[in-house]
A and B are shown apart, each in its own frame.
Chain A
Amino acid sequence: MPVAAPASCRALFWSFAWIGLSGFGGVLPWVRRVLVEQNKWMTPAEFTELLSMGQLIPGPSVSNFTVMLGRRYFGLKGAIAAVMGLYFFPLFIILILGYLYQSYGQLAPVQRILDGVKPVSAGLVIATSLKLVGSLPRSLHTALFVLCTFIAITLLQLPLALTMLMLAPLAIAAAWRQR
């Protein structure tokens, strides 16, 4: 499959603007669709590789991916164009929603709508975690670390930093030995 670089920073900006505006509840499927399938800027293998790097770097993975992709093509200008594309319009929309919530959030019908959407959004996050479970290797180690993390955060209410400090070295060491 032939792969072509984007023509300009402007093309990069608009492609990411399209991605940002298309994705509800996560933009990742759209990143793949637009970059790999429509524009053919990268092969599926390159996509997977860059994405897994984005996930290794802390912070929002899609945003890390976008920075790296933009830089690959046009350096700093490319990174800025891609990130601006991804965030500009969604940021605008979310601020408007936020202001509407502040002005009308206390009205009874709005409260009822939100009371219907809140459990759905909780369900979406729970479903995400269950889907991720499916991608993990089936081993005792894995199950143990999922469980320990859950116990530490939800049941013991420990801070994230402490939980990471305790569990991350053990989990990485276990993965290192398991190879």
Chain B
Amino acid sequence: MSLSEILDMSLHMALLSLMAVGGVTAVLPDIHRYVVEAQGWMNSEQFAALFALSQAAPGPNALFITLFGLQMAGLPGAFGATLGMFAPSSLLAYHAVGWADLFAHTRWLNAFRRGMAPITVGLVLSSGLLLAQAVDINLSSIVLTAVTVAVVLLRSRWNPLWLIIAGALFGLLA
């Protein structure tokens, strides 16, 4: 990728980040559409593998974007994608502190919060299914996904790292 392409990608990530209300996992389908379907910078399998890898590492969830950037264009891509994802929202957050107390309890913000909540849920659900579809679908992958969902819902205090390790061992030994 040339420098101008990296800049372009970075701006695209910034735009997506500014549409991500309630967490960036919600924009995975659009990132997939852009980097896999439109640009062909990686295939669906790599996309899912890199996302899985990011879950196996410590740190904020959103760092999957760094791995995507690295895969697309090396270190400059990693920093371009990461900055695109974090810089605009960080600037917004920095300046939001000033007027936040003023607006914290108004009806408008409450309506925004309550209105956007179900949309965020729908987006995150779509992201989960996109990742499930990007895997070779067979009995063991379906069972692994279903068991993970069940464990998280029933034992919500367990560290997800154990599930990741269990998945890795299952893949290696099965």
Contact = CB atoms under 8 A, between A and B. Distances in A.
Query: Is B a genuine binding partner of A?
Result: yes
Interface of A: 20-27, 49, 52-65, 67-68, 71-72, 76, 79, 83, 86-87, 89-91, 93-95, 97-99, 101-102, 105, 109, 112-133, 135-137, 141-150, 153-154, 157, 159-161, 164, 167-168, 171-176, 178-179
B100 A53 contact: yes
Contacts of B122: 145-150, 153
A20 B113 CA distance: 27
B3 interface: no
B contact patch SS: helix
A122 B29 CA distance: 13
B115 A174 contact: yes
B139 to A, nearest CB: 11
User: Which residue, of A20, A119, A124, has the highest number of chain B Cβ atoms within 10 A?
Assistant: A119
User: Which residue, of A49, A117, A157, A164, has the highest number of chain B Cβ atoms within 10 A?
Assistant: A117
B73 to A, nearest CB: 12
Given A98-B66, A116-B144, A160 B118 contact: no
A26 B140 CA distance: 26
Interface of B: 16-25, 27-30, 33, 48-63, 66-67, 70-71, 75, 78, 82, 85-86, 88-90, 92-94, 96-97, 100, 104, 107-132, 134-136, 140-142, 144-149, 152-153, 156, 159-161, 163-164, 166-172, 174
Given A116-B171, A117-B164, A175-B114, A58 B67 contact: no
23 contacts: A25-B61, A27-B60, A79-B90, A90-B58, A90-B63, A98-B67, A98-B78, A114-B49, A119-B142, A122-B48, A122-B131, A123-B132, A123-B145, A124-B160, A125-B25, A126-B128, A127-B153, A131-B153, A154-B130, A160-B16, A168-B115, A171-B119, A178-B114
Contacts of A83: 90
